[in-house]
Amino acid sequence: MNIINNNILRITLVGASCDGKTSLLLRYLNNEYNPDTLSLTIGADIFRKDIQHNNKTVELCLCDTAGQERFEQLIESYYKKSNIVISVYDVTNYQSFEKTQSWIHKIQNSQPDTLLAICGNKCDYEYNQWEVDPDEALKFSTDNNTLFFQTSAKDNLNITEMFTNVVEHYYSAIPKIYNENQIASNNVDGITIEKYNE
């Protein structure tokens, strides 16, 4: 896994456009849901949030990436520096699930030690509007050794639990490294950083 700092954890969200990555982050950061005011992410936005883990303060560096294909090279530079990558898809859009599968395979090939999760978002929609069978998504997750979550930014469903869970899984995999004093750069030049404290 990519160890950057024992008290700084980098989590990158990838996925297709309009699958709700930004809404997930804003709901997690400050319990905000205003989809009508959001615009498409251009490149990447970085947010920070302090959490408590095992009586220590951990700073989450949360990277919200664009879904457009023209930004994929830029996105690659972010996930290669990440400890955790969450690939988000829209449960009402099967093409977005296909994009998630593509991201997972791509990251596994280049960053095999990165902790991966897939997230089916927009679960507030009526089930008859879903294009992605949760059993199919779960099977893909199991076959590819990723964590699996279903969320709704609108209903604030399972979002805090998802981020808490990926952090717990990450640190449970590296307890020795977590207790060592790692020193590294935290360079995010050229990106606006917003910080939220728990």
pLDDT band at 197; cut points 50, 70, 90: very low
| Whole-angstrom distance, CA of residue 133 vs CA of residue 65 | 25
What's residue 175's pLDDT?
A: 56
Helix (H) or strand (E) holding 171: helix 159-173
Please count the structural domains in the chain.
1
State mean pLDDT over 169-174. 87
CATH label of the domain that carries residue 114: 3.40.50.300
Q: What is the pLDDT of residues 55-113, one digit of tens each?
A: 899 999 999 887 555 556 666 766 788 899 999 999 999 999 999 999 999 999 988 88
The answer to whether residue 187 is domain-embedded is no
The answer to whether residue 195 is domain-embedded is no
State mean pLDDT over 145-164. 96
Strands (E) in 19-158, as ranges, are 44-53, 56-65, 84-90, 115-121, 147-150
Average pLDDT of the chain is 82
The answer to whether residue 189 is domain-embedded is no
Helix (H, G, I), strand (E, B) or coil at 28: helix
Q: Name the nearest CA neighbour of 48 among 65, 63, 32, 60.
A: 60
Is the pLDDT confidence value at 196 over 50? no
| Whole-angstrom distance, CA of residue 45 vs CA of residue 186 | 15
The answer to whether residue 184 is domain-embedded is no
| Whole-angstrom distance, CA of residue 82 vs CA of residue 176 | 19
Strands (E) in 30-175, as ranges, are 44-53, 56-65, 84-90, 115-121, 147-150
Q: Name the nearest CA neighbour of 24 among 116, 77, 92, 90.
A: 90
The answer to whether residue 194 is domain-embedded is no
Residue 20 · residue 88 · CB < 8 Å: yes
Q: Of 71-75, 113-117, 135-139, 191-195, which range is least confident?
A: 191-195
Which range, 16-25, 43-52, 141-150, 175-184, has the best average confidence (pLDDT)? 141-150
The answer to whether residue 142 is domain-embedded is yes
What's residue 62's pLDDT?
A: 94
The answer to whether residue 196 is domain-embedded is no
Enclosing domain of residue 132 = 8-178
Top pLDDT among 198 and 62 is at 62
What percent of the chain shows pLDDT beyond 90?
Answer: 56
| Whole-angstrom distance, CA of residue 124 vs CA of residue 127 | 8
The answer to whether residue 66 is domain-embedded is yes
Is the pLDDT confidence value at 188 over 60? no
